[in-house]
């Protein structure tokens, strides 16, 4: 008997897609982290500068300046045929924050990568996620040769809420990055559970 499949075979599975953001200052290891777990080499996509950034980028007097674009690195992890996780590195410069709004919409959560030599670089990201109620964890990237701060010191320095997890990590190490991502998902679940309790009581 002829089976009912069309010539093209079964239609491709439409996966559920989720995203986690990777924020942190310049050089904190965002692209390295994405590359450590992504099944594709970190891809780069560009968004043309919109109105939001135009007043800052005055192109007057710079005739050969082309439209400014914001580049975003991202990676993909296929967890199952029908479940795909995307990681997006957020653009570093603060004037590109209009892109963050787009990126963070519907995001599962975020990692703020902290470099203990330049902790101040991640204040802005911490602030951003706190204000928008996006679940985030802080990953302290342990660069070789830097003093190992106790996570409590980092928590204090960043003035984090008690429930925000702070984990030490090595952005180059796949296992370490996996733990960080698991940490983000867990924290997102906990935050959701807390909110549900707040609604029902």
Q: Which residues bind another protein (CB under 8 A)?
A: 6, 8, 11-19, 37, 43-48, 50, 66, 69, 72, 74, 76-77, 79-80, 83-86, 88, 102-103, 105-106, 108, 174, 178, 181-182, 185-186, 188-189, 192
Q: How far is the CB of 74 from another protein (least distance, A)?
A: 6
CB burial readout 133-151, b (16+ within 10 A) else e: ebbbbbbbbbeeeeeebee
46/127 with CB nearer another protein: 46
Per the CB < 8 A criterion, the answer to whether 164 and 138 are in contact is yes
Q: How far is the CB of 50 from another protein (least distance, A)?
A: 8
* DSSP per position, 120-161: GGGHHHHHHHHHHT--EEEEEE--TTS----HHHHHHHHT--
155/187 with CB nearer another protein: 187
Q: How far is the CB of 88 from another protein (least distance, A)?
A: 7
48/146 with CB nearer another protein: 48
Q: How far is the CB of 1 from another protein (least distance, A)?
A: 22
Please give the order of strands across the beta sheet that includes 16-24: 43-48, 69-80, 83-89, 16-24, 109-114, 136-141, 166-169
Q: How far is the CB of 156 from another protein (least distance, A)?
A: 29
Per-residue DSSP letter, 106: T
69/156 with CB nearer another protein: 69
């Amino acid at each position: 008997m002829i089976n009912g499949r069309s010539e093209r075979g079964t239609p491709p599975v439409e996966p559920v897609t989720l995203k986690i953001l990777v924020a942190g200052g310049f050089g904190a290891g965002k692209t390295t982290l994405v590359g450590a777990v992504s099944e594709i080499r970190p891809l780069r996509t560009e968004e043309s500068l919109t109105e939001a950034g135009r007043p800052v980028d005055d192109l007057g007097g710079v005739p050969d300046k082309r439209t400014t674009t914001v580049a975003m690195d991202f990676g993909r992890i296929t967890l199952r045929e029908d479940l795909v996780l995307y990681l997006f590195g957020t653009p570093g410069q603060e004037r590109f924050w209009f892109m963050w709004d787009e990126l963070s919409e519907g995001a599962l959560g975020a990692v703020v990568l902290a470099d203990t030599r330049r902790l101040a670089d991640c204040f802005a990201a911490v602030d951003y996620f706190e204000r928008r109620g996006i679940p985030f964890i802080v990953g302290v990237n342990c660069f070789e040769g830097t003093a190992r701060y106790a996570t409590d010191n980092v928590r204090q320095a960043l003035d984090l809420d008690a429930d925000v997890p702070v984990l030490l990590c090595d952005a180059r190490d796949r296992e370490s990055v996996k733990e960080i991502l698991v940490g983000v998902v867990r924290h997102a679940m906990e935050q959701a559970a807390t909110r549900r309790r707040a609604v029902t009581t």
